[in-house]
Structures are given as C-alpha cells and as structure tokens.
Amino acid sequence: MNNLLSYICSLTPFSEEDWEYLKPALTKRTFARNELLLREGEVCSSLFYIDAGYCKSYYEIDGNIKNTELFFENEIATNVTSFGSGLESKYNIIACEPLITIVFNKDKLFELSKQHPKIENLGRICLRQFAVKQEEFLAIFKLYSPKERLEYIETHHPHIVQRVSLTQLASFLGVTRETLSRIRNRRIS
Amino acid sequence: MNNLLSYICSLTPFSEEDWEYLKPALTKRTFARNELLLREGEVCSSLFYIDAGYCKSYYEIDGNIKNTELFFENEIATNVTSFGSGLESKYNIIACEPLITIVFNKDKLFELSKQHPKIENLGRICLRQFAVKQEEFLAIFKLYSPKERLEYIETHHPHIVQRVSLTQLASFLGVTRETLSRIRNRRIS
DNA sequence: ATTAAGCTGAGACATTTGTCACAAAATCAG
DNA sequence: CTGATTTTGTGACAAATGTCTCAGCTTAAT
C-alpha cells in the first residue's frame, strides 16, 4: 500500500487521517499473467492501481486483437466510460505480467466521497490525470505518422518500448508488426 | 443562459439555488468567425460552453494545420491539459462560425467549488464527459481504418459531416482531403 | 455585381502500409 | 533439457495513402 500512498501524495495533499478514511475502499488483489481484470460486457466497478507488473486494455474485432491502452506501475487502470456511466465495457483489460493491484471499490468510493471532500477531490484529480493522458495519446494519433508515433513513444515513454514485445507495441501504435519492423529497418540505413 | 442550465440539469440534479451560486463565474461572450478562443502558448483559464455555432482545436505543425477536436452546441470546449495543470496550451481553439459561448472562469469556479459541493460535483461530471468523449475518439483512431472512421462518424455523429467542410473533416479524420475524396468515390462504385 | 479567396474533384506518380507466406530465433511448459 | 508455442525478421505483391498539380466551383467580402 505504500506505493499507492506515495502516488496519492504526489497528486494532492493527503493526511494520515484521509488515508485511514480511504482504506476501507481498498483491497489488494493479484492477477496471474493473462488473467482478465475486466471482461468485455461487464460493467467496470473498480479502479485498479498498478503496484507491480503491467496490463493492457484491448478490443477484439473479427477475431484479432487491438491494444488500446497500456497501464504500468503507478497508473490507474480502468475503463472510464463504463466506470462512470455504469454501462457495459466494450473493452477487456488483461494482465500482461503477474500483476499486483490495489482495487478501489466504486460503491464504497462514492459513499466516502460524500463524507470526505478530500476523497472526492482525489477522485477528480485522478479523473483529470486520465483525461490528460487520453488527450496526449489522441493527439499522437491525430498529428503523427506511424514513424513519428514510434519516435514520440521512444522519447516520452521509453519504458513502453523496453517492456512490451514488438507485436504488442505495433498494435498499440496502430500498425501491423511488419510495418513497425520496416520503420525500424529504414532508420538504420 | 437557458441552454446552459438545461445542459447542466441533463447531467446532474441542479437547483435554482445552485444556479444562483454558479452564475458569478459565468460570462457570455461572442466570437467572430476565425477569432481565437485560445492561442497556442497561452494558459487555458476558461471553459467555453458552446451556445451557438461551432469551433475547433487545431495544432500547427510546419505551417500546416491539423484539426484535433471539434466542439458543437451543448459541448464544453477547452484544453483539459492546460486548464488542469496551468501549463501553456500547445493547441489553438478557433471559431469556425460566429460563436456564442458562456465562459466559465477558472479561478471563480475553483473558489465556488470549495463552498458548494454541487458545483464541485458538476465540475467532476463535466470532466468525466470530457474523458468519455476522448476515450471514444481515441478508440476510433486505434481500431479503425480511415474508411471505417468516416463510417463511424457518419453513423454516430452525423451532424459533424453535415456542418464541416470536406477539408476540415479530412483533417479531423487524420487523412488528407484527397484520401477522403477517394474513400467516398470508391463507395459509390 | 465583382473580385479574391478558399473549397472540391480529378489525375499522375512515389511512398507507405497491409496481407500473406515462410524461416529463424526466442520463450514457455512439461 | 526438449519439444511446442510464440515472437520476430524478411520478401513479394496488392492496396491505400501522400504529394503535387491544375481546373472548375463555391463562398466571402467589398
């Protein structure tokens, strides 16, 4: 839980007392490799703070898998649309490595938010973090070519390139693995 | 202001009293066609509720313009990243038609949020709306080809196709206008 | 109404990407 | 360790896209 507390304190002032209030909404949960955190068709009722390992959200369309997001240590994995609206998620979230998470229970979180403004505030800040991240990645796709997207990720999020396989990275960049291979080859010569 | 009140009420329960609290943070402001709501390099300190007309955010890269988002009536235009963090915006927002907006002043909004939980709650809901919209459009880019993206917009956001020019639509879809032309031609035959 | 500016459609060509196929290398499970 | 599975690299070909150009059309401003 220590990592989570540090993470929260890096976002907003959070006292020992606030932490005690928040705790009842939290549960530690581990996932094996390839175990699902969220299945398509389910309603997302949790936020998963990633303590160790990483996971991805993906969409299955005509049998082949397209990665939509990656979540690493010190990030919150969820499907905002489903979490916020209570509608079924169109995406899956799956552990890519053995995963240790701290689960925020939605119902408890909502109840606590009503009583403790600090917790409500924390929720808003997390949401904002999420929106900022989305805006960033949306811009990458709108503004850049596949080659430029790779360069952007290498520069600004090098840990992604280091940890995920070429196939998964390609899917994340929105190209086939062959194209990603070519981009890297062109650069050498 | 009536449109805005209806909009807010459609999002969350909002009393006449809440509305009176909120009003001091609001200003009506009009923009001429091609007038900037937000300039690159400025810090975004406003939320613009679009009452009539539409605007777009764009990014200028090596002299040519790439549209990143479109904002129509009953939407909130802003740059979340800059608004939330206080950092300079990398994007411009410009009126594409004569525009009538209701401006939310950031500082006043923050003050009011501290005193009135309903207003804080409204802020969070708007933020969530924003995140949901972003997630949707990010998915379009990650999952679909240009042709499929066009079809998605035609199906789910037909007003966009009806109101913006082909050139702007192409930029929004992340392709050149020639490509968009070809996609439409292919479909006829 | 007139002029200027911007928008659209189309063709030619180069480049990029997707698809399919196969072999080599790396990884995983027993 | 070993066999099976997955991942990666490569080539050939087709399809899609970008770039450049020009001409006709629409729109905007005066």
Q: What is the pLDDT along chain A (189 residues), one digit of tens a residue?
A: 899 999 999 999 999 999 999 999 999 999 988 899 999 999 999 999 999 999 999 988 777 788 999 999 999 999 999 998 899 999 999 999 889 999 999 999 999 998 998 998 899 899 899 889 999 999 899 889 999 999 999 999 999 998 999 999 999 999 999 999 999 988 765
CATH number for the segment(s) B2-143? 2.60.120.10
pLDDT at B63: 73
Check if residue A163 sits with its Cβ under 7 angstroms from strand C. Answer: no
Q: What stretches in chain B show pLDDT beneath 50?
A: none
pLDDT at A52: 92
Q: Which of B61, B132, B142 is opposite residue A84, by nearest beta carbon?
A: B132
Is B130 in CB contact (< 8 Å) with chain A? yes
pLDDT at A59: 87
A85 interaction partners in chain B (CB closer than 8 Å): 132
User: Per the CB < 8 Å rule, is B141 touching A142?
Assistant: yes
pLDDT at B37: 96
User: Per the CB < 8 Å rule, is A135 touching B80?
Assistant: yes
Q: Calculate how close chain A gets to B94, using CA atoms only, in Å.
A: 17
For chain B, which residues make up each domain, given as ranges?
Answer: 2-143, 144-189
pLDDT at A54: 93
User: Per the CB < 8 Å rule, is B142 touching A61?
Assistant: no
Please state the separation of Cα A145 from the chain's center in Å. 23
